[in-house]
Chain A
Amino acid sequence: MAVIDADPRFDAKAARAIARTTKKSEADAQKRLTSRGATIAAIIIAIIWTIPTFGLFVTSFRPGADSSSTGWWTVFANPGFTLSNYYDALTSGGTALTLGASFLNSLAIAIPATAIPIAIATLAAYAFAWIPFKGRGILFVFVFALQIVPIQMALVPLLSLFSRGLSINGLGIFPGFTLRDVDHSFATVWIAHAIFAMPLAIFLLHNFISEIPSELVEAARVDGAGHGQIFFRIIIPLSTPAIASFAIFQFIWVWNDLLVATIFAPSTSLPLTQTLNSLSGSWGDKWYLQSAGAFISIIVPLIVFFSLQRFFVRGLLAGATKG
């Protein structure tokens, strides 16, 4: 980042020395100035953002008859709670799968569909950032522009490629996959998600990887490291925060995806979103069951967010340059 270089080292050192002595009072003063109005605004935003979810949460514990005739907020006036919504939602499920089974399917889809595109995209992003070649800029822009190819357009050609293969004039080069009688096949879903993640993943990871200070890479090269070692020993450790943040979002996008899985997954491999959606179809306005199911589906993305959140900590990269 340019900003890091713009800061003269001397100033920074002096400032740090002074700051150390006055840090506490400074921090206090700043807190007093900014925090009151800011905190109130933050809390208001937080409350507005939480109310709709909270309403669903309350509904998921209310008896079905209550929630379809009165608003969820009336529960505070005349409370009535039950756990049976969760029990019903988990056990009955949709037509082919219970919600519990599709929960496992969602995991089996989302974890490989996060790991595979990230690894492939990191390799490509490294090439775009650190291996100079003719037309690199144009090619990168092209990959970036592919983000707008709408998924909906790619689905039909891709599906026919997977199921019927590729043959030119009756000459079969690729006969397609024969996965119809397999119990739990996720292969086509993994590939489809990997493809659709590619442009954004390459773009975001390239932005981060290209900002790694070139002195680090040059130093490693002088020490005799090839591209393989530079990639594995320098790029990967330094871009862990970027990779982790992208992994979080990719996982959540895949976990919440409905369209891709509906089209590519066989009926025994459908994920949670699809089962939830079919619950709404077969149960009509039984919103209380849907709300219980919706809550079951939120748990995993939140766990992922919490467990990877520590990668969002302050400047791994900044530490490396100033060392």
Chain B
Amino acid sequence: MTGILTAGPIVKKQLPRRTTGVIVAVAAVLIAALLVFMITRNPNNSALPTSLGFSLNSFFSWIGGLTPLLQIPIVVAVFAVVVGVILLLVEFAPRPGRGYFWLRVAACFVIPVIAAMLLRPYQNAVLYVVAIALLAGAILFFADYRARAGTGYIFQLITFLAPASILILVGLIYPALSTIFQSFFDKTGKQFVGLGNYVWVFTNPDGFWSVINTLIWAALAPTISIVLGLAYAVFIDKARGEKFLKVMVFMPVAISFVGAGIIFKFVYDYRQGQQIGLLNAVITAFGGQPVGWLDAQPFINTLCLLAVFIWTQTGFAMVFLSAAIKAVPTEQNEAASLDGASSWQLFRNVTVPGIRSSLIVVLTTITIASLKVYDIVAVLTGGRSNSTVVAFEMVNQQQRFQSYGHSAALALVLFLFVTPLIVYNVRQMRKQKEIR
């Protein structure tokens, strides 16, 4: 690829490229200076929030007063308008001409200011916030105007990525950073303890068992549910009543873990006398002794919980892989079967390579879901009898013991577990790029 994909005008650059960089850097320093100046000013506690007469808050409280069903179309429509504006801007921004030039100017300066004012900053902060927004807009406009790939290129890029970036920054990166910070501090978050919390994870029985069990979950849950889901998807492909058979296995996906917890109480239930749990009823019918499945150690209760998870995830894998199987071109199957390939060979050499990328996606998704599993453990055992897992222990430490340090260390251990998976996926992505 040439790298230049926008059809921007080829502007005669009078300024050397270096100057552009210097100007952008100076503006960035100005923004930073404004921020520092704003923060170090004397606080004024009597300040009130200000807005342009409308704000996110006023919109949310207006819509919150409506009946729930009426809110749905309104929110979706308002959001559609916002997306529409984004697409229009992106479409028209890079075009040459005076009108489009002023469109970019207006967008770069007006949108950041309006966005800042939607948050209702306090009176004593307003001037700074608006100044920062204006400066940021100016940087954007200037960098975009002088972009190597043509005017409009950076503008388009930012517009496409901005909504997602804001959500991710606020909701994921900021919490993640504060978690890393917390994992080196004690319960209260004030006393620095170094690696103490990590030592706790691997020496305390709760921490230790949660790590072991999580590894079991991550190893067994994806393999079993993918093998079962794929086999099932192949078996019922083009069979009579495919839709019905699909729904039978997909149904657990639609059931909440609250519901699944109730359902499996009727399977694992243990009591003296007459059994109402299915599993123990079968065992006693054959003359065996009833087993307290959810308290059976070691590992038996973990496997029982795992079975519930597999029960819900197999349908997910099946639906995904079935869609992928149907996207494999028919010609390939026909050509192979004309060459005399058996159905196993067909599956092995045509279907599996054809759905490879979907397989990786499903594997990744289910493994991550199994590392993060919380609800099943919480609903069925509450982590007793060494059935706890890392994600459950995290919430447990945080809410029952108010121990944020332990909880944060567990979160980082979890992150460590997922690293190999990410490395593998990145390699796959690279390979696919090379093929193309």
Contacts and interface: CB of A to CB of B under 8 A. Distances in A.
A9 B6 CA distance: 33
B172 A199 contact: yes
B296 interface: no
Contacts of A195: 167-168, 170-172
6 contacts: A15-B331, A45-B249, A127-B157, A154-B171, A194-B167, A195-B168
Q: Is the interface of B mostly helix, strand, loop or mixed?
A: helix
Contact of A18 (B41, B262, B338): B338
Contact of A294 (B7, B40, B259): B259
A68 B415 CA distance: 43
Interface in B214-265: 228, 231-232, 234-236, 239, 243, 245, 247-259, 262-265
Given A52-B263, A227-B91, A200 B365 contact: yes
Given A71-B276, A107-B72, A123-B163, A170 B45 contact: yes
A216 interface: no
A68 B92 contact: no
B157 A133 contact: yes
A108 B91 contact: no
A6 B121 CA distance: 58
B173 interface: yes
Given A150-B411, A245-B320, A175 B122 contact: yes
Q: Which 5 A-B pairs have the closest CB atoms?
A: A228-B91, A170-B43, A195-B171, A182-B64, A301-B254
A227 B41 contact: no
Nearest to A132: B3
Given A68-B276, A229-B91, A273 B256 contact: yes
Interface string A26-49: 100010011100110111011001
Interface residues of A, number: 149
B283 interface: no
A257 B247 CA distance: 21
A229 B66 CA distance: 35
Interface string B330-370: 11101101100011000000000110010001000100100
Contacts of B125: 171-173
B232 to A, nearest CB: 5
A179 B64 contact: yes
A179 B258 CA distance: 28
A105 B239 CA distance: 39
Interface in A90-131: 104-105, 107-108, 111-112, 115-116, 119-121, 123-124, 126-127, 130-131
Contacts of A49: 248-249, 251-252, 311, 314-315
A179 B60 CA distance: 8
B53 interface: no
B171 A70 contact: no
A204 B94 CA distance: 29
Contacts of A16: 331, 334
Given A123-B160, A171-B124, A172-B122, A152 B171 contact: no
B272 interface: no
B422 interface: yes
B275 interface: yes
A154 B263 CA distance: 30
Contacts of A276: 256, 258-259
Interface in B170-206: 170-176, 178-179
B179 A153 contact: yes
A105 B39 CA distance: 41
Contacts of A143: 168
Interface string A249-265: 10010011111000000
Nearest to A4: B329
B435 interface: yes
Contacts of A173: 119, 121-122, 125, 129
Contacts of B40: 169
Contact of A228 (B87, B342, B398, B425): B87
A305 interface: yes
Q: Is the interface of A mostly helix, strand, loop or mixed?
A: helix
A198 B173 CA distance: 12
Interface string B57-93: 1001101111111011001100110010011111110
Given A178-B57, A227-B160, A190 B119 contact: no
Contact of B88 (A55, A202, A228): A228
Nearest to A56: B263
B255 A149 contact: no
Contact of A141 (B95, B171, B277, B422): B422
Given A152-B391, A177-B56, A280-B262, 18 more contacts: A15-B334, A38-B234, A42-B236, A53-B252, A108-B68, A112-B76, A144-B422, A153-B176, A156-B398, A171-B39, A173-B129, A183-B64, A187-B63, A204-B361, A228-B92, A252-B253, A256-B255, A294-B258
Nearest to A57: B263
Interface string A280-308: 10000001001100100110011001100
Interface in A182-212: 182-187, 190-192, 194-196, 198-200, 202-204, 207, 211
A198 B170 CA distance: 12
A53 B252 CA distance: 8
B38 interface: yes
Contacts of B95: 226
Interface string A156-186: 1110010000011111111101110011111
Given A152-B395, A198-B164, A318-B329, A302 B251 contact: yes
A3 interface: yes
B327 A317 contact: yes
B10 interface: no
A22 B385 CA distance: 61
Contacts of A70: 274, 276
Given A49-B252, A146-B176, A277 B258 contact: yes
Contacts of B235: 38-39, 41-42
Nearest to B392: A152
Contacts of B414: 148, 150
Interface in B364-381: 365, 368, 371-372, 374-375
A131 B157 contact: yes
B147 to A, nearest CB: 10
B172 A154 contact: yes
A68 B68 CA distance: 37
